[in-house]
Structure 1
């Protein structure tokens, strides 16, 4: 199980590395992120995150390019195309990419 997690983590890092060199353009919703902390009030901070179960319903390639949507609508490439430019544009932004790897040959036990 540890080797699957290590392999998945290495794959995510590699994809993020490759995405940092491509000229991606975000074509998604623009949010107003110019607000700052308001003293004396409850300030809520939302941290964007993703969760992909690679190999559970789709292959790695299907998850990345968003194919085979009859099983599940998921496209890692769209996530990276919007998240990477946003992170590069503002050093205060954070994103957690959570990816679990499933291998049908290895039974999952808790």
Structure 2
């Protein structure tokens, strides 16, 4: 048997056998002295037109290619930031943001402006 085929076979078996589980962490205690403290920065990385059309990414269609709905991401981020002033989010893809912005009410636009001004939402 070719060595490369054997390696691929072993890696395939390992990949199939590894189980991934969602773990809940208690982060309420803040920084722990003497431990490595990890700071996660919530952000997006939706390449405009990478695997699907811009429209498919935005509305979340054609999920057989990739599951993504940019509109839902932006809607939920705004709501999550409003619920907790300690949360922050970085939004990168301005092509999607511009489209989402045009669909929003004046009230939502004002909320987003406040989130940007407060530093909770970064572009």
Unaligned runs of 5+ in 1: 1-29, 102-110
Alignment-derived partner of residue 38 in structure 1:
32
Alignment-derived partner of residue 95 in structure 1:
89
Offset from partner CA, 1:71-97 (integer Å, 9 cap, x none)? 221111232233221112222212222
Alignment-derived partner of residue 77 in structure 1:
71
Q: Secondary structure at the match of 2:47?
A: strand
Which of 36, 41, 66 is 1:47 aligned to? 41
Dislocated runs of 4+, deviation >6 Å:
none
Q: Judging changes above 3 Å, is the alpha-carbon distance between structure 1 residues 33 and 42 closer, same or farther for their aligned structure 2 residues?
A: closer
Q: Is the 8 A contact 1:87 1:93 kept in 2?
A: yes
Aligned residues: 72
Unaligned runs of 5+ in 2: 1-23, 96-123
Query: Which structure is higher in strand share?
Result: 1
Q: Is the 8 A contact 1:52 1:100 kept in 2?
A: no
Shift of 1:45: 1.2
Which structure's CA Rg is the greater one? 2
Distance 1:47 1:85 in 2: 17
Q: Secondary structure at the match of 2:44?
A: strand
Query: Which structure is higher in helix share?
Result: 2
Q: Secondary structure at the match of 1:68?
A: coil
Offset from partner CA, 1:13-70 (integer Å, 9 cap, x none)? xxxxxxxxxxxxxxxxx97553312233221111112211112222222111100112
